[in-house]
């Protein structure tokens, strides 16, 4: 089965659609448009978007994810990951996370941190991280913080 979506690097032109998803997914806890803009254009930031490839809805964003890189200390922080409710359950969140992890590996980051909000019920992401890439080793999971060590080939 062919995926009806693709992933690419985000840019400033994606801001309005990213904010649509941000507000849909996080409602009252959503980032401001100013904060999201700063993330998209910030130094040492890497954002990807997933977009629809369906003919009736081309280029509509259906997910995004962001990584803050701190190369001086070989660390990264998964800033955010969001998938529209109608696009969940098809592996899109996993694909977005894998895109961030590929960038972390390319940038030679060793420690990647992911914080999961306490009120989020879907915690599959931490399990998916452990099985989606053989080069990932989970070094610690405490409360809602997950730390990973990337083993570079």
Among 18-22, 100-104, 114-118, 120-124, top mean pLDDT goes to 18-22
Q: What is the pLDDT of residue 147?
A: 52
With 90 as the cut, is the pLDDT of residue 20 above it? yes
With 70 as the cut, is the pLDDT of residue 127 above it? no
Q: Which DSSP string corresponds to 36-93?
A: HHHHHHSTTEEEEEEEE--TTSTT-EEEEEEEEEEGGGTEEEEEEEEE-GGGTTSSHH
The CATH number of 5-150 is which of 3.30.70.1290, 3.40.50.10090, 3.40.630.30, 3.30.56.10?
3.40.630.30
**Average pLDDT of span 29-49:** 95
Q: What is the pLDDT of residue 129?
A: 45
68-103 per-position pLDDT tens digit: 999 888 888 999 999 999 998 898 998 999 999 999
**12-22: b (≥16 Cβ within 10 Å) or e:** eebbebbbebb
CA 86 to chain centre: 17
Q: What is the pLDDT of residue 141?
A: 45
* Residue 47 pLDDT class (50, 70, 90 cuts): very high
* Residue of higher predicted confidence among 82 and 148: 82
- 79-147-123-18 Cα dihedral, nearest 10 degrees: 10
Q: What is the pLDDT of residue 117?
A: 59
The chain-wide mean pLDDT, for the chain, equals 80
Q: What is the pLDDT of residue 139?
A: 44
| CB contact at 8 A, 70 and 106 | no
Give the whole-angstrom CA distance, residue 153 versus residue 137: 13
């Amino acid at each position: 089965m062919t995926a009806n979506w693709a992933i690419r690097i985000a840019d400033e032109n994606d801001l309005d659609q990213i904010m649509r998803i941000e507000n849909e997914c996080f409602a009252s806890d959503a980032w401001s448009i100013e904060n999201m803009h700063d993330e998209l254009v910030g130094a040492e930031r890497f954002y990807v978007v997933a977009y629809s490839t369906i003919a009736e809805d081309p280029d509509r964003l259906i997910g995004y994810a962001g990584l803050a890189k701190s190369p001086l200390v070989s660390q990264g922080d998964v800033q955010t990951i969001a998938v529209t409710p109608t696009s969940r359950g098809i592996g899109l969140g996993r694909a977005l996370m894998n895109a961030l992890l590929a960038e972390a590996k390319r940038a030679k980051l060793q420690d990647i941190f992911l914080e999961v909000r306490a009120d989020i019920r879907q915690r599959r992401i931490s399990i998916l991280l452990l099985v989606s890439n053989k080069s990932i080793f989970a070094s610690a999971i405490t409360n809602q913080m997950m730390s990973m060590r990337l083993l570079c080939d």
